[in-house]
């Protein structure tokens, strides 16, 4: 199952690009094994950033260096693909160059989800939220070691990302005024549910696709709703994929 946690955007309160040091970040707990697939950042300058996770003992648990373009007021999705196992007081930060936006007010901890809970920052003052927005993660369904073999691996689980043909899931335009097109190509015949919620989880739109496979296109009109961020979920059974829709 794919899920998300953290602040969705920088709109929670005041803030600015942060360049003072590389010691600030967010604490979080992991409840069950996950792959932290991506986070979103707002970058003041283009360049390589090293994003690292430190464990409760102060050791580097995982890190990756990724080129991030300057994004201004638009977010950039950063694919980190960190495998995380249950534990408390993990800490995520940048090592070296930062120059990323952080909120200095508006954060309300904890940010709870099915498997990852963001518990606070190391700012020493309430309301601060550092750098990493809209965390997307997938719970690890098969938590065993991998060995090369020619037999059928009955432990492997097809995720809903695998159900769609490569790069066919699209929301256009996005951002939009509430009117947009949803398209995807489902490789596996199944029952799907398309659901749109606000960031509080309230359902605002939904429709089913029963025993469906192939190319799906639909024009959706949410222009009657308030401007802001919404989430579109496409689910099949216990599998779900989530994308953001920005109504402006």
**147's tokens:** 């060995």
Cβ of 103: how many Cβ atoms within 10 Å? 22
| Number of residues assigned to the chain | 248
Write out the E strands in 55-178: 60-68, 76-84, 87-95, 100-103, 116-121, 129-130, 133-139, 170-172
pLDDT the model gives residue 4 = 92
Helix and strand totals (H; E) in the chain:
1, 17
- The DSSP call for residue 158 is -
In which residue ranges of the chain is pLDDT below 70?
Answer: 141-168
Query: Cα–chain-centroid distance for residue 20?
Result: 26
Architecture per CATH, 160-247: Sandwich (2.60)
Which is nearest to 18 in space by CA: 106, 136, 120, 132?
Answer: 132
Architecture per CATH, 2-139: Sandwich (2.60)
pLDDT the model gives residue 39 = 96
| H or E, element range at 213 | strand 203-221
pLDDT the model gives residue 142 = 52
pLDDT the model gives residue 158 = 38
Domain chopping of the chain, boundaries: 2-139, 160-247
pLDDT, tens only, 55-75: 988 999 999 999 999 988 899
pLDDT the model gives residue 165 = 52
């Amino acid at each position: 199952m794919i899920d998300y946690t953290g602040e969705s955007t920088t709109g929670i309160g005041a803030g600015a690009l942060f360049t003072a040091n590389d010691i600030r970040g967010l604490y979080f707990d992991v409840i069950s094994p996950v792959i932290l697939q991506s986070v979103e950042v707002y970058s003041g300058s283009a360049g390589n950033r090293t994003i690292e996770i430190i464990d409760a003992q102060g050791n580097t648990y995982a890190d990756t260096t990724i080129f991030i373009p300057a994004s201004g007021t638009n977010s950039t999705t950063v694919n980190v693909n960190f495998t995380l196992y249950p534990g408390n007081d993990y800490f995520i930060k940048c090592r070296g160059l930062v120059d990323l936006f952080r909120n200095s007010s508006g954060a309300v901890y904890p940010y709870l989800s099915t498997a990852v809970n963001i518990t606070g920052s190391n700012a020493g003052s309430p309301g601060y939220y550092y750098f990493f927005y809209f965390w997307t993660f997938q719970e690890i369904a098969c938590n065993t070691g991998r060995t090369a073999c020619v037999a059928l691996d009955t432990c492997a689980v097809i995720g809903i990302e695998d159900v769609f043909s490569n790069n066919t899931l699209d929301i256009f335009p996005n951002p939009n005024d509430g009117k947009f097109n949803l398209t995807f190509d489902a490789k596996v015949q199944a029952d799907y549910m398309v659901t749109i919620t606000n960031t509080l989880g309230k359902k605002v739109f939904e429709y089913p696709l029963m025993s469906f496979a192939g190319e799906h296109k639909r024009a959706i009109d949410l222009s009657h709703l308030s401007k802001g961020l919404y989430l579109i979920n496409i689910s099949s059974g216990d599998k779900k994929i989530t994308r953001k829709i920005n109504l402006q």
